[in-house]
Amino acid sequence: MTQEILEPTESSPFHAGEQALQERLGVREKVERFGRRAIRDHLIEQHRDFYAKLPFLLLGSRDETGQPWASILAGRPGFAQSPDPGRLQLDAAAIPGDPLEQALCPGAQIGGLGIEFATRRRNRFSARVGALDEGGIELLIDQAFGNCPQYIQTRQPEFRRDPRDASFRPVREELSRLDEEAQRMIAAADTFFIASAAPPPDESAEDDASVRGVDVSHRGGKPGFVRIDDEGTLTVPDFAGNLQFNTLGNLLLEPRAGLLFADFDSGDLLFLAGDVEIIFESEEIAAFRGAERLWRFRLSRAIRLRQGLPMAFRFGEYSPNSLIQGDWQEAAARLEAERQRNTYRPYRVARIVEESSLVRSFYLEPADDGGLPGFQAGQFLPIKLARPDLDAPLTRTYTISSAPEDPGFRISVKRETRGEVSRLLHDRLKEGDVIEALAPRGQFTIDAAETRPVVMIAGGIGVTPMVSMLRHLLTEGLRTRHLRPVWFLYSARTATERAFFEELQQLAAAAPQVQARFILTAPGPSSREGRDYHAVGRLTVETLKALLPFDDYDFYVCGPAAMTQQIYDGLRDLNIADGRIHAEAFGPAGLKRRRDEGAAARGVQGAVEAEGEASVAFAEAEVTADWTPEKGTLLELAEDAGLSPVYGCRSGSCGSCAVPLLDGDVRYVQEPSFPVTAGEVLTCCAVPAAKEGAPPASLRLAL
């Protein structure tokens, strides 16, 4: 059946509260264009057919005080009929004891939600009550629109009594607080419904009074996604939705709301009334994976109806969108882990996987029963390994190849002939062993919310951050229904040395917006073009020019220093802005950038010559050392003093060595590419700001 398309409505279908939130997120114009076409003042044919198939509807109403309540109205399929596009006729009566009983009167505003759990279809409407008689309830449609299927768990309804049996009256209990039974019900819930209502507009309001009715909406997540703070307070994460903000827009103007929880096995119903506070900024938002906001509900009144539902619901499966969200236990653990981000913690090697003839992945999980700190795709993990034959442990940084949404960390390490730590990891580390690690860090990250297409260019082991980024983009695409177009180009010497080939093929096949191309410099007789690779040779800018269609891209480059520099220079020669080229390069041969004219240099001012003398105090270790230029950087001075400071690249690229500067000033003998935060110093390339011939300088570091 074809979708009915209408011309845009003359006035906005959104009131001031909805518009304010749309504006806050920068989606006002986009959502307005959609709303004027998709939100109608009548039911289209396919929605009329849809409601006729349903065995229940969710309805929102207001009592005599204006308090919204969420309710459920059940009937055999066909109980809801649309005799014409402007009306919905309900052959049903409110469940005895449901607040809806008292709210139904001619002219009353009603919000409606039709939801089919088995198919995850749902449609919403706002209406006014027309006639009320023995034939049921007549609703006169004001607004109607479809809704996305996100966060809906599938269920199959089964009637256990006749919904029109007037002799059945559920036991009704009034509650002033959430008792233990109510808390158990809420804690186990993966679904609930919320009713809200905007107040009528005053004379100065610009929006139409018809858009300020009652609304009822669905909320879903993993069991426990509603946190019980105490006997009268709940906190709920707000996940990505349709950006219309019908519920939160109402609550912005009128904070009262009604919640409905259902026990889909017993049929018990729990109606809650109270006030809502919307939380836009909180450390808990960042800690709760998938949360974009929080809202806090404070209870004023509760009603429980025993076996109020005339049907049970057989559970099917969770929505994929629900499963990729976090939970409160994980969020609390992340917050605690964040407080320990500069402390080494133990991680157990849960699994070791051979990714290629040279690359091995190590799956790490916290060994101290703590949480996993959050991170951004593309960041690296500073690790520390003990060696019996050495007094001081070995420290290195390895890029995380798993995504922020994955459980645990995965670091993928190439065995290097001269790499002491890589050989130690490959030769000695076993499943069950424990290593230590700080929280992830680094600036080579990607923004999944951007709309510009992205080109990922990986060479050799430089593929590790790219795998993390691609996995993250796909997960965020599922969560937000927006996926950045991706060109993924990966160059390796041979097929046997190439890592993640099958994983990358699967990721590319998961979405049409992802195009993957594999390049080998020495394919070998067993590799076949079209199956194992797409091109032979080195990955250069000429490769990009031949492959990429004309567009405006963000480039991400990671690989051997020579390849990275060559790609960067070639892109700059094509007038690609420096800010559009994101590159990860470590070691003394770090990437040499050509800044755009007028662009401010990152971090600090250019490199200087070391000179003079200084006294450097390492406050935490209670060690003081005398510095002169021949003693090198502050990192080298600390190591000479017997300390074991954290470091990674030793070139100012990664930020692992950053420590707070308590007193004094520093200069940089090598300009760091890592952005230097005020009040911190990168010890790997910094020296005291001393002057030749001047009295010795004084410096204190939190090290």
Using DSSP's 3-state secondary structure scheme, residue 427 falls into: helix
* pLDDT, position 268: 97
587 or 209, higher pLDDT: 209
**Class of residue 202 by CB neighbours under 10 A (exposed 0-12, middle 13-18, buried 19+):** exposed
The model's pLDDT over 533-589, given as tens digits with 9 standing for 90+, comes to 999 999 999 999 998 988 899 999 999 989 999 999 999 999 999 999 999 865 444
Residue 9 pLDDT greater than 80, yes or no: no
* pLDDT, position 455: 97
Residues 271-298 as b or e (16 or more Cβ within 10 Å = b): bbbbebeebeeeebbebbbbbebbbbbe
Of 13-17, 316-320, 583-587, give the lowest mean pLDDT range: 583-587
Mean residue pLDDT of the chain comes to 90
**Class of residue 334 by CB neighbours under 10 A (exposed 0-12, middle 13-18, buried 19+):** buried
Most confident of 293-297, 389-393, 557-561, 638-642: 293-297
Asked if 163 and 76 touch (Cβ cutoff 8 Å), the reply is: yes
Residue 15 pLDDT greater than 80, yes or no: yes
- What is the reported pTM? 0.81
Task: Name the residue among 418, 518, 415, 512 with its Cα closest to residue 466.
Answer: 518
In which band, very low, low, confident or very high, does the pLDDT at 99 lie, cut at 50, 70 and 90? Answer: very high
The model's pLDDT over 157-207, given as tens digits with 9 standing for 90+, comes to 999 999 988 899 999 999 999 999 999 999 999 999 999 998 876 645 555
The model's pLDDT over 643-701, given as tens digits with 9 standing for 90+, comes to 878 777 777 877 778 899 999 999 998 878 777 888 899 999 999 999 988 999 999 99
In which band, very low, low, confident or very high, does the pLDDT at 17 lie, cut at 50, 70 and 90? Answer: very high
Using DSSP's 3-state secondary structure scheme, residue 617 falls into: strand
CA pair distance 610, 12, nearest whole angstrom:
65
The model's pLDDT over 625-642, given as tens digits with 9 standing for 90+, comes to 999 999 999 999 998 898
CA pair distance 73, 54, nearest whole angstrom:
11
Helix ranges (H only) for 442-540 are 463-480, 501-509
Return the HEC string of 180-220. HHHHHHHHHCCEEEEEEECCCCCCCCCCCHHHCCEEEEEEE
* pLDDT, position 8: 39
* pLDDT, position 670: 81
232 or 693, higher pLDDT: 232
Asked if 96 and 72 touch (Cβ cutoff 8 Å), the reply is: no
In which band, very low, low, confident or very high, does the pLDDT at 605 lie, cut at 50, 70 and 90? Answer: low
CA pair distance 150, 413, nearest whole angstrom:
37
* pLDDT, position 208: 61
617 or 676, higher pLDDT: 617
Segment 308-324 shows an average pLDDT of: 95
* pLDDT, position 597: 65
Percent of the chain residues topping a pLDDT of 90: 73
* pLDDT, position 420: 87
CA pair distance 472, 466, nearest whole angstrom:
10
In which band, very low, low, confident or very high, does the pLDDT at 603 lie, cut at 50, 70 and 90? Answer: very low
Percent of the chain residues topping a pLDDT of 70: 94
- In angstroms, how far is the first alpha carbon of the chain from the final one? 69
220, 222, 223, 229 alpha-carbon torsion, rounded to 10°: -80
CA pair distance 461, 458, nearest whole angstrom:
8
* pLDDT, position 674: 75
What are the counts of helices (DSSP H) followed by strands (DSSP E) for the chain? Answer: 15, 36
Q: Which two tokens stand for residue 644?
A: 């074991």
Asked if 674 and 667 touch (Cβ cutoff 8 Å), the reply is: no
Q: Which two tokens stand for residue 116?
A: 């089919």
* pLDDT, position 6: 36
Domains of the chain as residue ranges with CATH: 16-160+168-329 (2.30.110.10), 340-437 (2.40.30.10), 454-584 (3.40.50.80), 614-701 (3.10.20.30)
Segment 264-280 shows an average pLDDT of: 97
Q: Do β-strands 359-366 and 345-354 pair in parallel, antiparallel, or remain unpaired? A: antiparallel
CA pair distance 669, 296, nearest whole angstrom:
51
Query: Which H or E element spans position 16?
Result: helix 16-24
